[in-house]
Structure 1
Amino acid sequence: MANGTVLAVGIDGACWSLVDNWIDEGELPNLREIRDNGTWGELESCVPPVTCPAWKCYSTSQNPGELGVFWWESLDIASKESFTPSSRSFSHPELWDILNDAGVTTGVVGMPLTYPPKEVDGFMISGGPGAPDHDFTYPEDVEDELKSKFDYTPRPTFPADSEGDNEEEFAEKSIEQVDLDFKVAKHLYEKYDVDFLQVCSFEINAPLQHQFYDGEPTKKAWKIIDNHLGDLADEFEYVVIHSDHGTSEMDQQFFINSWLAQEGYLTRDRSFFERLADYGITRDRLLGVLDTLRLREPLSNVQTLRNLGRRIPDSRGLFGEREGSAIFDKVLWGETDAVGLAQGPLYLNTDKLNEQEYETTRNKLVEEIESIVDEKRDAPPIQQVFKKEEVYHGEYMDKAPDLVALDAPEYHNKGGIGKKELFRKSDWRGNNARQGLHVISGPGVDSARVDAEIYDVAPTILSLFDLDPPSNLDGTPVLD
């Protein structure tokens, strides 16, 4: 391959099953042209297929067992603490580090898990969902420029009721962010003239595909992305389009901690914060007060307050996706064998179980969880349960969840510590799925269908620059 320039467009939650009809109807002509003239296929994500750590699995070509991060939150059963990662949680060299070492300049815009931004030979603009509205750029002075020219921040600010009464405003703000990420990327590319440009769209999936799946707001955002593809693609010799995971249509929630409690694996207690909820002091009400006082955004990155917020249930008794803090408040550990997090990670209580009991319990959980059936729908909420050694390897295996329960397409596992029911109709229409997409187009790239893994994308980009991927990567170039 020639040593040229490369555009990489990362689209959170993108998959062919979501966009194929729009491509066939002529709604996404630039994506169609790039696909028709390149190598393309499905892109299998990590387990569970979640933004964190999937984007870092892409940029490092390392599986979570090497990274030491397995989901948005990790539980340390021994210390009874939960851990939420940031960009500093990852020590492995990323794609842009390897490119910079080889003299290739790089620009990165909007990729999740890049806050705080790192120093690169080029520029880096942190992406959602963890980036606040300050200190999100490298070089530092770019932030004032982006705020002045584009009124840009890494994520839009939503009103407290934007997912309910103001759903239209919620959608429009998200669509504006999709558009802004690409406008900022194009502006900085023209200013810095980097050899490699990575632009990511997180808002396309969270919230749009989650909330609307293939509805009109999602379609509108995809058409904006397609227009930007048309503008940017001609500026580069090679174009790579990829996702971190896919999306499936769904309409049900499953609370695995409710099931664990029902089956005797978990014993829970009512925490102090749940008792506050009895008096109307709920998380959504407190957030509404902060919105009224215009304090929600300024306080959003104060870790102590974020941890406190995760301990307080909302008006429905839920603790949100990241409920590890609530788990440690609510679980009676002397009577509990296992706890679960949303979207799949399951931890066994090794303080209580000896080695033989651990393996017996783990095997039993695999069999029983894979046998759960939603009797009202005659459907399983979990499609497969993996032991950690089946999907992970590396130096951080001791920190890995003992099991990972992969959602069935129609069901979203919410964890649900403190809930009594097992199933409930979902607020979301789109669920994370393991099969995403990729496309590689440019000189010498054959028009062919080739399925790949998320770990293969970074080595492929290195090969486009005539660079040999380091031998310790988990992936291999798709085009070899």
Structure 2
Amino acid sequence: MAVTPAFRFRPAPAAASAAALAAAVPVALSAPALARPLGPALVLVVLLPALAGFLLGGLFGRILRRRPRLAAALAALLVALPWAGVAAAGIARAPWAAVLGPLAAATVPLLPSSFRHVLVRLAVAAAVLLLRPAAELRPSDEAVRPVVVFGIDAATWPEIEPLLAAGELPNLAAFRAAGASGVLMSEEPTLSPRVWTIIATGQPTEVNGVVDFNSDRSMLRVGRFWDAAVAAGSAVGLMEWHITWPPDDLPGFGVPGWLARGFQTRPPEASFLKKLEAGGKARLPLFSREMLGAGFSALAVSAADHALANLAAAAEIVLGGLGEEDSYWRVKLIQARLQTDLYLELMQRERPGCSAIILYPVDSLGHNYWKYHEPEAFGPEAFAGVSDEERRARSEVVRDAYRECDRLLGRVLDRLDLERTTVMIVSDHGMKAAAEGGHLAGRVRARTLFELLGMKDRLNYSVAGKQLNISSAVGGEAGRRDLLEVHRLLSEAHVAGRPEVHPFLPQPFRPELGLVVVDYALREIQDPETVLVVAGREVKVADLFRAEDRSGDHRLEGVILIRGPEIAAGARIEDADLYDVAPTLLHLMGLEVPADLPGRVLTEAFRPEALAARPVRERPGGLPEPPPAVMPARAESETAGANLQELGYLDAGD
């Protein structure tokens, strides 16, 4: 009778199968987003841990020749630890599952580990990823007809149409074909917090109270469309909407936009996103236990393909020694993926009837990379320091922002019940080449100007395109008097010896707006040696202005698209503006439209039979009041200011 040779235990394959199980089991139970899509999940959660276990098992096997099972267990345990961290992250669903990874790493090498056993365990690890498939996102209540707002800051049809024609935005193309679409007209000044608040409230700035980037939640005077949903009994979900920090104590979830001055979110465990967005800009060490925990939470909510893309981009930035220009756009796409993944995770948990997410890469990358996107839009002397090689290398960054937003739109739509849910895609304004881009004196040094006016500590500012927007840091009647004086002094400023030539062109002052909006006479201030007289004091152009380094600027034409069970396929939306969004959303939710809202319901987007069955209903008054704002004693983060400087709304050092 033949004698079967004794099996020789090999630590490398044993460690590989143990590591794969140690990663897959806790991920499937506690971070199921990482188990989807299946192909990338197999690579990230099974094959890579198995490969790491195999290599470490071989290494430790050589060191611990007499204890091969211990070598395999140590190798698998080393691989299991980061996955245990993901499973135990604050945002993870079942932190208790974190112990299963190290347990598998320690015990599996004690079992028989023939080649067949190893293959079976790898197959089991792969099968485990199917334990918790992605569920369709349905509201937990029927208080309102479900709506989702998908915001793409700065999206505009002149940039979208060529990409649609080339078949590069498949989700947006299918969405437009199945629904209604048109231009959404914005208004100046196109400051994002101001405009998104008009969209949310349906009311102008003088009514809603939000003026510019220096405004905060305490200044909001009126309700928003989601306050009406809450009043009707629905939960709400908000991701990255401006002027929502600190988040209100409302049913559902709230993760404020990038103007947040702290890390507060609802639920608190979602704050990891704000910490990661802050990075080195916050009072938080980049390499710290808290940031490590934020990284684990990010992985816990990420889809597997997004996690792989984010890790690859981060490795390029850190290991590739990329400069700021090549790192910035990668970071913005990472942020958009993380924001979408967290939105879907919180939607799964809270099931709100009304929710919104805003993505910002089209805006942030448009401001900074338009000189590569459309170099022919600028004169030969503009951005002279940019080489042809740099233009070629970064020529697709703006279009990549649109492509990524389209992909993320598809990820959201795939999870929604589109038979019941209405989705609105909207932008606050568009984007185009900056007319003053690269001009020698295209941008005023605001703090220097305020010193000349004798009001350095009494004024705030932000820049939108070629406009300087000045608001009061004091408020009240004293602030109004300051703004009137600023308007007078800037109107009287002139070129020395030529009192009829004015470098500043303030628009008519509207006290109710709370802003002095100032244009520049660019042709008159291109010579750096030209002397200006401001508030009776002389100053050279070179000392008061600098070259404009932003190459993309806002345009008024934004986008609006609506798709849902009551929406007519292929319908055109005509003459829509910011004030029409809130009334339309209220009607889509099945709620009455307050008569105080100046906008209208976009009835041309609806099927006639849907409007006949459910006509627009109005009621007296306005939207329900928002909850009282509870502002923290101090800000935790300098992220807002740093982001404003990156986008060119503030100058460095302000």
TM-score (norm 2): 0.49
Q: Are the aligned partners of 1:241 and 1:440 in contact in 2 as well (CA < 8 Å)?
A: yes
What are structure 1's unaligned runs of at least 5 residues? 73-83, 260-316, 365-370, 374-380, 390-396, 409-415
1:448 aligns with 2:571: yes
Match of 2:268 in 1: 140
Q: Are the aligned partners of 2:176 and 2:561 in contact in 1 as well (CA < 8 Å)?
A: yes
Q: Are the aligned partners of 2:153 and 2:358 in contact in 1 as well (CA < 8 Å)?
A: yes
The partner residue of 2:598 within 469, 474, 477 is 474
SS in structure 2 opposite 1:4?
A: coil
Q: Are the aligned partners of 2:210 and 2:216 in contact in 1 as well (CA < 8 Å)?
A: no
Q: Are the aligned partners of 1:48 and 1:406 in contact in 2 as well (CA < 8 Å)?
A: no
Letter in structure 2 aligned against 1:449:
R
Match of 1:431 in 2: 553
SS in structure 2 opposite 1:138?
A: coil
What are structure 2's unaligned runs of at least 5 residues? 1-142, 275-293, 302-312, 374-394, 472-479, 495-500, 523-531, 605-654
RMSD of aligned alpha carbons? 4.5
Q: CA deviation at 1:67?
A: 2.4
Match of 2:241 in 1: 111
Q: Are the aligned partners of 1:175 and 1:217 in contact in 2 as well (CA < 8 Å)?
A: no
Task: Tell me the percent identity.
Answer: 24
Letter in structure 2 aligned against 1:125:
V
Letter in structure 2 aligned against 1:435:
E
Letter in structure 1 aligned against 2:337:
D
Task: Supply the distance in 2 between the matched residues of 1:352 and 1:39 (Cα, whole angstroms).
Answer: 43
- Give the alignment of 1:216-231 within 5 angstroms: 216-231=396-411
Question: How many residues were matched structurally?
Answer: 367
The partner residue of 2:224 within 82, 94, 100 is 94
The partner residue of 1:23 within 161, 164, 178 is 164
Letter in structure 1 aligned against 2:263:
H
Q: CA deviation at 1:402?
A: 4.8
After superposition, the Cα gap between the structure-2 partners of 1:361 and 1:177, relative to the gap in structure 1 and judged at 3 Å, is closer
Task: Supply the distance in 1 between the matched residues of 2:438 and 2:232 (Cα, whole angstroms).
Answer: 47
After superposition, the Cα gap between the structure-2 partners of 1:445 and 1:400, relative to the gap in structure 1 and judged at 3 Å, is same
Q: Are the aligned partners of 1:50 and 1:245 in contact in 2 as well (CA < 8 Å)?
A: no
SS in structure 2 opposite 1:36?
A: helix
Residues 240-287 of structure 1: per-residue CA shift (max 9 Å, x gap) = 00011111112624999x89xxxxxxxxxxxxxxxxxxxxxxxxxxxx
Match of 2:355 in 1: 197
The partner residue of 1:247 within 425, 428, 431 is 431
Task: Supply the distance in 2 between the matched residues of 1:477 and 1:195 (Cα, whole angstroms).
Answer: 20
Task: Supply the distance in 1 between the matched residues of 2:551 and 2:227 (Cα, whole angstroms).
Answer: 37
Residues 95-141 of structure 1: per-residue CA shift (max 9 Å, x gap) = 2111110122210111222222112221000111x225622x11224
SS in structure 1 opposite 2:463?
A: coil
- Give the alignment of 1:358-377 within 5 angstroms: none
Q: Are the aligned partners of 2:206 and 2:514 in contact in 1 as well (CA < 8 Å)?
A: yes
SS in structure 2 opposite 1:198?
A: strand
Q: Are the aligned partners of 2:241 and 2:257 in contact in 1 as well (CA < 8 Å)?
A: yes
Task: Supply the distance in 2 between the matched residues of 1:233 and 1:16 (Cα, whole angstroms).
Answer: 21
Q: Are the aligned partners of 1:253 and 1:423 in contact in 2 as well (CA < 8 Å)?
A: no
Q: CA deviation at 1:339?
A: 11
Q: CA deviation at 1:71?
A: 2.4
Match of 2:191 in 1: 50
Task: Supply the distance in 2 between the matched residues of 1:194 and 1:339 (Cα, whole angstroms).
Answer: 37
Q: CA deviation at 1:23?
A: 1.1
Q: CA deviation at 1:326?
A: 5.0
Q: Are the aligned partners of 1:104 and 1:196 in contact in 2 as well (CA < 8 Å)?
A: yes
Q: CA deviation at 1:205?
A: 1.1
Q: CA deviation at 1:4?
A: 3.0
After superposition, the Cα gap between the structure-2 partners of 1:125 and 1:340, relative to the gap in structure 1 and judged at 3 Å, is closer
- Give the alignment of 1:306-385 within 5 angstroms: 319=445, 323=446, 327-332=449-454, 342-343=463-464, 344=467
Q: Are the aligned partners of 1:53 and 1:70 in contact in 2 as well (CA < 8 Å)?
A: yes
Q: CA deviation at 1:224?
A: 2.1
After superposition, the Cα gap between the structure-2 partners of 1:220 and 1:253, relative to the gap in structure 1 and judged at 3 Å, is closer
After superposition, the Cα gap between the structure-2 partners of 1:332 and 1:189, relative to the gap in structure 1 and judged at 3 Å, is closer
Q: Are the aligned partners of 1:87 and 1:113 in contact in 2 as well (CA < 8 Å)?
A: yes
Task: Supply the distance in 2 between the matched residues of 1:241 and 1:8 (Cα, whole angstroms).
Answer: 6
After superposition, the Cα gap between the structure-2 partners of 1:255 and 1:476, relative to the gap in structure 1 and judged at 3 Å, is farther
1:210 aligns with 2:332: no
Letter in structure 2 aligned against 1:114:
T
Match of 1:76 in 2: none
After superposition, the Cα gap between the structure-2 partners of 1:419 and 1:4, relative to the gap in structure 1 and judged at 3 Å, is farther
- Give the alignment of 1:381-420 within 5 angstroms: 386-388=507-509, 397-398=511-512, 400-403=514-517, 405=519, 420=541
Match of 1:172 in 2: 330
Give the structure with the higher percent helix: 2
Q: Are the aligned partners of 1:46 and 1:57 in contact in 2 as well (CA < 8 Å)?
A: no
- Give the alignment of 1:67-82 within 5 angstroms: 67-72=208-213
Q: Are the aligned partners of 1:127 and 1:202 in contact in 2 as well (CA < 8 Å)?
A: no
After superposition, the Cα gap between the structure-2 partners of 1:405 and 1:458, relative to the gap in structure 1 and judged at 3 Å, is farther
Task: Supply the distance in 2 between the matched residues of 1:339 and 1:225 (Cα, whole angstroms).
Answer: 33
After superposition, the Cα gap between the structure-2 partners of 1:34 and 1:351, relative to the gap in structure 1 and judged at 3 Å, is closer
Q: CA deviation at 1:228?
A: 2.1
TM-score (norm 1): 0.65
Letter in structure 2 aligned against 1:149:
S
After superposition, the Cα gap between the structure-2 partners of 1:216 and 1:407, relative to the gap in structure 1 and judged at 3 Å, is farther
Task: Supply the distance in 2 between the matched residues of 1:113 and 1:360 (Cα, whole angstroms).
Answer: 30
Give the structure with higher Rg (CA): 2
After superposition, the Cα gap between the structure-2 partners of 1:126 and 1:359, relative to the gap in structure 1 and judged at 3 Å, is closer
